[in-house]
Amino acid sequence: MRRHHVTSRRSSQSQAADSDRVSLLISAVAKRTLQGSLEDEKAAMVLNPVISKLAGKLVVLASASPRRLEILRNAGLRFEVVPSWFKETLDKSLFKAPHEYAMETAKQKALEVARRMPFKHLKTPDIVIGADTIVAVDGMILEKPVDKHDAYRMLSSLSGKSHSVFTGVAIVLCHEKENDEVDYQLFDFYEETKVKFADLSENMLWEYINSGEPMDKAGGYGIQALGGMLVEYVHGDFLNVVGFPLNHFCKQLDLIYNHGAFSSEQETSPGSASHNGTHASPTILTQSSPNAPAQSSHSNGSSAKHNPSASQTHHTQSSPSASPVHKVKKNDGESEVGESSWTLVNSLSKHTDDRQAEVIDSENAALLMTSRGPAMELNVTEHEGGEPRKEDLQRITELMDGFKASKALFTASKMCVFDLLQSRPGLNAAQVAEEIKASVKGTECLLEACVSLGLLRSKERKCQKPVYENAGLASRFLLSDAPFSLQGYIQHCDKTVWPLFSHLEDAVREGSNQHEKAFGKKSKDVFQDTFYNSLDVKLRFMNAMHSIAKVTGKAVATAFDLSSFKTACDLGGCTGAMAYEFTKSYPGLSVTVFDLPAVVEMSEHFHPLRTDNRVSFVAGDFFKDDLPKADLYILARILHDWPDEKVHVLLSKVADACTPGCAVLIAETMLDGRTPYSALQSLNMLAQTEGTERTESQYADLLSKHGFGNTRVVHTTNFLDAFIGIKL
Ligand SMILES: Cc1cn([C@@H]2O[C@H](COP(=O)(O)OP(=O)(O)OP(=O)(O)O)[C@@H](O)[C@H]2O)c(=O)[nH]c1=O
């Protein structure tokens, strides 16, 4: 499963081609590696038994990189994918050499997942693999570009020169002990490959950047796809450039499993494994309890040159049962939410017996329920005496308590706890209570609940009350002025969705929304009669749509390469937040936001600066009025509000406005993955609107009836999936 397929008319082809080429190239290289190895019987003996040693173990790839997944899958490894939440923000100036930075980042990625999984996944993995690829040129470290200009900066610094690609790899072995503690053993190494770029003309550079390929790749290029055309020669392991040094990895596994470096005992001698590569790095870290900081026998990443033996690290961490939920503390300040043992709405996926690689988690998973993946299945097994397992009890309790967690979040958000602690971190409960005008007792309970949910951190001080500060999740999503603030949506959930859900049983029995019971208003049209008929409800609803559009806008806008479209119309585009993301992504695009007069009259409140004159607003009813002319029609979170009959009315108006080559872009949560998020979202549509969420094929079917074909879908890891159809 991919985190993000970049597809586009041109770039979709290139992406499809990219993916094909990746497979082809990788299998070609893999074959070459294998053929080479087969000539050398000893090497073959080394490779295969190593991979087979891992059969039956829960192997986890702590990476969202589709290239790493493919390289390892092609090598025959069976594993699950749990992308790391570790932010790649280590201070580069602290590292003496670029590879030290890559190795440290790889290590942190792997350890973050290894530590999180016993809490989030019910299962402790056997092995976690982390990796980090960087490009080093002229004393600079280049990671993934943040935008096209950054890609330009990177690629022009590589033009005509030779540079090094380093991939740091960390292998963490997890040993569950009888007392419910987990030992972590770390083996890490790096690989360097030299790559020489041809001279790149400005035209070439921009053509390449506009293909969209550079954006998720270190140094801004993908050697396995279009970027291969920029390369004159490669010295070293090709797959290392693509993202994973397979050969070195296999050698490392061989050292671990066949030459005695592996040990489940705490007393493993660090020098017991011999090592034959120039880059293997021994590091010895020991961590004896969840609260103890990691101690390093040497400073970060400085070991590669000094100690030629394979490295081993032990970390020990108590499992949830050994440590009460609210006492589980952050170990090292690096993982943003890993300290929370709350797993209710995390998209957990039980690893199956035939452990297929599958993405089971993503960055925004935790409380915000954004990740995809198969729904969690309760793994209930009866033990001797019929006693239920503690993880089953934990999971069922979390499900029963889900509404309490939601309401704690809504309440803290409404009482401005997160805004307060952002401007004044380190307040104790009494001080917070005074500021939010609440009781000390109640505030203490609320703050502690937020700590247990991973939204706040608390610091205990000797003989004094604990003090509180925001955890990363709160700073990112829960402040009223954060770029990705979900405050507006949270307030909508509290004030609108919550009362509607209290009538869920009726919604299920009747198959219709519950506005009348929840709010005492009969509504023929939910939007006209309920959301937009009073100013405060309208503003709250617009705020909710605004915050979701800001969080999802970029992912939707860039899911496909839409640069060939010059005009777009965002139907039901509300405050224009999505439209602004589209114009930011496409300098040649103008977007008309088309929405009800009641909405358009308020939209300017959301963009006081109105800096982008490529976004304009037109008032009208898309079921009745003529639609503004455009090459591309955007329907983001619109169709799910309506039953098929009404969707057909709308799509036939869109189809009438389109000439061949025009497109419809639908952004919705598709039901295909059967994730808790999409399934619960569908229940939400039932209680709230006349509509429902749909599957990819249902959208394709609806569109095909109005003359749209060549449909493609991109599953972003954000809330929405993007679906495009071209007018034939
Ligand atoms: C030079 C080069 C890099 N890459 C990709 O660049 C990403 C590096 O970023 P990272 O931080 O190491 O990994 P990530 O993609 O963010 O994933 P994660 O492991 O979750 O941090 C990885 O994807 C690599 O394949 C290519 O696909 N081709 C190339 O020629």
Residue nearest to atom 25 of ligand 1 (CA): 243
| Angle, helices 696-704/644-657, rounded to nearest 10 degrees | 50
Q: Is residue 430 part of a domain?
A: yes
Confidence at residue 292, expressed as pLDDT on a 0 to 100 scale = 31
Distance between CA 425 and CA 437 in Å, rounded?
18
Task: List b or e across 170-193, with b for residues whose CB sees 16 or more CB atoms inside 10 angstroms.
Answer: bbbbbbbeeebbbbbbbbbbbbbb
ipTM over 0.90: yes
Q: Is residue 382 part of a domain?
A: no
| For residue 273, pLDDT beyond 60 | no
Residue 229 is which amino acid? M
| For residue 479, pLDDT beyond 90 | yes
pLDDT tens digits, residue range 325-382? 222 222 333 332 222 222 222 222 222 222 223 233 332 322 222 222 333 333 344 4
Q: Is residue 335 part of a domain?
A: no
Q: Which atom of ligand 1 is nearest to the CA of 22?
A: 27
Cβ of 252 less than 6 Å from ligand 1: no
594 and 463, same domain (yes or no): no
Cβ neighbours of residue 441 closer than 8 Å, sequence gap 6 or more: none
To which residue do tokens 């987990």 refer? 182
Cβ of 221 less than 6 Å from ligand 1: yes
Q: Look at residues 482, 508, 531 and tell me which one is the last residue of a structural domain.
A: 482
In angstroms, what is the span from residue 161 Cα to ligand 1's centroid? Answer: 21
* Strand pairing category for 80-81 and 127-137: unpaired
121 and 210, same domain (yes or no): yes
15 and 135, same domain (yes or no): yes
Q: Is residue 340 part of a domain?
A: no
State mean pLDDT over 317-332.
27
Q: Determine contact, residues 554/585, Cβ cutoff 8 Å.
A: yes
Q: What percent of the chain has pLDDT over 90?
A: 56
Cβ neighbours of residue 455 closer than 8 Å, sequence gap 6 or more: 367, 409, 412, 418, 470, 471, 473, 474, 478
Q: Is residue 5 part of a domain?
A: no
Which DSSP category does 494 fall into?
Answer: I
Q: Is residue 366 part of a domain?
A: no
User: How many domains is the chain built from?
Assistant: 3
Spatial CA neighbour of 363 closest among 527, 462, 473: 473
Confidence at residue 717, expressed as pLDDT on a 0 to 100 scale = 72
| For residue 412, pLDDT beyond 50 | yes
256 and 194, same domain (yes or no): yes
Residue 684 belongs to domain with CATH number: 3.40.50.150
Residue nearest to atom 7 of ligand 1 (CA): 217
Confidence at residue 100, expressed as pLDDT on a 0 to 100 scale = 95
Q: Look at residues 419, 448, 482 and tell me which one is the last residue of a structural domain.
A: 482
User: Residue 170 is encoded by which pair of tokens?
Assistant: 């960390």
Beta bridge partner(s), residue 131: 169
Q: Determine contact, residues 70/2, Cβ cutoff 8 Å.
A: no
User: Residue 242 is encoded by which pair of tokens?
Assistant: 């693509």
Distance between CA 373 and CA 676 in Å, rounded?
9
Average pLDDT over the chain, rounded to an integer:
78
Confidence at residue 611, expressed as pLDDT on a 0 to 100 scale = 67
Residue 397 is which amino acid? T
Residue nearest to atom 6 of ligand 1 (CA): 217
Rg (CA), the chain: 27
**Lowest-confidence region among 175-184, 427-436, 513-522:** 175-184
Residue nearest to atom 14 of ligand 1 (CA): 65
Cβ of 170 less than 6 Å from ligand 1: no
Residue 79 — very low, low, confident or very high, per pLDDT cuts 50/70/90? Answer: confident
In angstroms, what is the span from residue 66 Cα to ligand 1's centroid? Answer: 8
262 and 296, same domain (yes or no): yes
User: Residue 299 is encoded by which pair of tokens?
Assistant: 């400073």
Q: Which of 18, 126, 132, 672 is catalytic?
A: 132
pLDDT tens digits, residue range 102-156? 999 999 999 999 888 776 555 788 999 999 999 999 999 999 999 999 999 999 9
Distance between CA 116 and CA 339 in Å, rounded?
7
418 and 322, same domain (yes or no): no
Half-sphere exposure of 242 toward its Cβ, with a 13 Å CA cutoff?
29
609 and 511, same domain (yes or no): yes
Confidence at residue 341, expressed as pLDDT on a 0 to 100 scale = 25
Residue 81 φ/ψ, nearest 5 degrees = -110, 120
Residue 612 — very low, low, confident or very high, per pLDDT cuts 50/70/90? Answer: confident
In angstroms, what is the span from residue 499 Cα to ligand 1's centroid? Answer: 44
Residue 432 belongs to domain with CATH number: 1.10.10.10
Residue 49 — very low, low, confident or very high, per pLDDT cuts 50/70/90? Answer: low
Q: Look at residues 482, 516, 532 and tell me which one is the last residue of a structural domain.
A: 482
In angstroms, what is the span from residue 235 Cα to ligand 1's centroid? Answer: 19
Q: Is residue 163 part of a domain?
A: yes
Distance between CA 322 and CA 644 in Å, rounded?
52
**Lowest-confidence region among 122-131, 266-275, 418-427:** 266-275
Q: Which of 217, 221, 233, 238 to mutate to test the pocket of ligand 1 (most atoms within 8 A of CB)?
A: 217
State mean pLDDT over 506-522.
90
Residue nearest to atom 11 of ligand 1 (CA): 132
Q: Is residue 627 part of a domain?
A: yes
User: In 10 A of CB 333, how many CB atoms?
Assistant: 9
Cβ of 144 less than 6 Å from ligand 1: yes
**What torsion do the CA atoms of 534, 540, 545, 547 make, to the nearest 10 degrees?**
160
Cβ of 254 less than 6 Å from ligand 1: no
User: Residue 182 is encoded by which pair of tokens?
Assistant: 């987990």
State mean pLDDT over 382-405.
80
Q: Which domain holds residue 613?
A: 489-727
Cβ neighbours of residue 90 closer than 8 Å, sequence gap 6 or more: 101, 104, 105, 108, 300
Q: What percent of the chain has pLDDT over 70?
A: 74
Out of 290-304, 442-456, 515-529, the most confident range is: 442-456
In angstroms, what is the span from residue 392 Cα to ligand 1's centroid? Answer: 36
414 and 495, same domain (yes or no): no
| For residue 690, pLDDT beyond 50 | yes
Which has more confidence, 519 or 258? 519
Residue 533 — very low, low, confident or very high, per pLDDT cuts 50/70/90? Answer: confident
Residue 114 belongs to domain with CATH number: 3.90.950.10
Cβ of 223 less than 6 Å from ligand 1: yes
pLDDT tens digits, residue range 640-651? 999 999 999 999
In angstroms, what is the span from residue 102 Cα to ligand 1's centroid? Answer: 11
494 and 458, same domain (yes or no): no
- Give the 3-state secondary structure of residue 691: coil
Cβ of 515 less than 6 Å from ligand 1: no
Which has more confidence, 462 or 492? 492
507 and 587, same domain (yes or no): yes
438 and 576, same domain (yes or no): no
Residue 245 φ/ψ, nearest 5 degrees = -80, 85
State mean pLDDT over 263-291.
35
**Lowest-confidence region among 407-411, 494-498, 534-538:** 534-538
410 and 507, same domain (yes or no): no
| For residue 20, pLDDT beyond 90 | no
Q: Determine contact, residues 245/278, Cβ cutoff 8 Å.
A: no
Residue 644 is a catalytic residue: no
Q: Which atom of ligand 1 is nearest to the CA of 88?
A: 11
Residue 673 — very low, low, confident or very high, per pLDDT cuts 50/70/90? Answer: low
Residue nearest to atom 28 of ligand 1 (CA): 222
